[in-house]
Amino acid sequence: MNDCVIIGAGPAGLSAAIACREWDLSVTVLDEFPEAGGRLLGQLYEQPDGSWWNGIEESKKLLTKAEELQADLQFEVSVHHIEKTDDRFIIHTNQGNFSGKSVLIATGAAEVQAPIPGWTLPGVMSIGAAQVMTNVHRVKVGEKGVIVGVNVLSAAIAHELHLAGVNVASMALPASNVVSEDEANPKKVMESLARIAHLAPSAFIRFGSKFTNLSLVRNMVVNFFPSKGIKMWGMPIHLRKAVTRINGKDKVESVTMSKVTSKGEIVPNTEETIEVDFVCIAGGLYPLAELASVLGCPFKYIAELGGHVPVHNESMETPVEGVYVAGNITGVESAQVAAAQGTVAGLSIAQRLLNEEKVAQILPSAISQVKETREAAAIQFHPGIDEGRRKIEEVYHEHTDIYE
């Protein structure tokens, strides 16, 4: 039996494994992908200080360190159930069962699917799939395409596609429906753009980002947003146009785009057809937390964290003794934050199992490092992340009495 079983070999899982092994805890890391890194593998972008964040290289560093410390890393292992007994956790997988005194769930996030008429045609993919095909597999996703959905994720990946020489003709809103109501609202989308404006080459966007927290200015920007869009990395971003349909017989051939009002309503008789051979749908990310639910962890919906998240505290503990969480399962943030959280989780596990005073002394510093990393992050996926973290901490303390 392991001291800990970690589910997920992304930045959070690998960092936690390193922290555990540094205190000589036995650790097994499980991941369904053939290699370590998780979403790190697709990330490549320039940071505000001019340096480049290369997810593949960052992943190699973590993997090398984990291997040097002799962490047990098992890939192509899919976890489908976790069972809690009196003295252990039993993790059920396609490769048999694993057991541990504690379990860390670091399963990351998944993409929100935003349906559009024609979205089942070959050539339609999620924005994350385009990222992986481009940056990991080095496969060109197509000759000319559009991105449906204007948000932090799509803007960041659009930049990566641009760097790879992929021709993205435009980025536009989805048509408004019950799934994409907020994503189709130009005013709300403008708020999200402000969080990545510092990465933009457009002086207009960088300047405007200083004032988009002001409702009056935000309304003016949306109302007078150019019909041709504003270019970012040579690609026009449209806040007053929406993709209403993807066209084609056996594959993507074109999209239908219409003008929208400042509230996201389709303007009649404004349809235009744009010939493309691929479409990326960007609906955003949400915490991938089903395994925590299986273990009986309580949940709370917190918009600032990206959706329903398992209740936890800043030490990455859940109210269920022996169960820890780290990374995007706790709220959608950057890979750097996920790695810092993984270190905290590993130290928390070591403190619980070893009751070492030295661990207790360095844990507060690791928690502070998470906050510092969050403040310095180049990309923030949701506004009010600090408020979201405060809320989940409060909920944790409310639930703790139930499990004592």
Residue from 16, 14, 12, 27 nearest 72 by CA: 27
The answer to whether domain 2-110+285-403 and domain 113-281 are alike in fold is yes
CATH architecture of 113-281: 3-Layer(bba) Sandwich (3.50)
Three-state SS letters, 321-367: CCEEECHHHHCCCCHHHHHHHHHHHHHHHHHHHHCCHHHHHHHHHHH
Cβ-contact 158, 233 below 8 angstroms: yes
Dist. CA 157–CA 381, nearest whole Å: 13
Dist. CA 404–CA 398, nearest whole Å: 12
Could you give the angle at the alpha carbon of 386 between the alpha carbons of 385 and 388, nearest 5°?
Answer: 65
Structural domain spans, the chain: 2-110+285-403, 113-281
Cβ-contact 392, 300 below 8 angstroms: yes
What's the fold here for domain 2-110+285-403? Answer: FAD/NAD(P)-binding domain (3.50.50)
Q: Strands, E, within 251-316: which ranges?
A: 254-259, 272-275, 278-281, 285-287, 299-302, 307-310
- From first CA to last CA, the distance across the chain in angstroms is 25
Residue 125: phi and psi, rounded to 5, are -150, 165
**Structure confidence by residue, pLDDT tens digits, 211-235:** 344 454 455 455 556 666 677 777 8
3-state secondary structure (DSSP) of residue 147: strand
Could you give the angle at the alpha carbon of 79 between the alpha carbons of 5 and 12, nearest 5°?
Answer: 50
The pair of structure tokens assigned to 81 is 């159930």
Helices (H) and strands (E) in the chain, counts: 11, 21
CA distances in angstroms from 149 to 72, 140, 155, listed in the order given: 40, 20, 9
pTM: 0.88
3-state secondary structure (DSSP) of residue 284: coil
Q: How far is CA 366 from the centre of its chain?
A: 22
Half-sphere exposure of 129 (CA within 13 A, CB side): 16
Res 226: pLDDT: 63
Res 151: pLDDT: 85
pLDDT under 70: residue ranges of the chain: 45-50, 191-229, 378, 401-404
Dist. CA 47–CA 227, nearest whole Å: 30
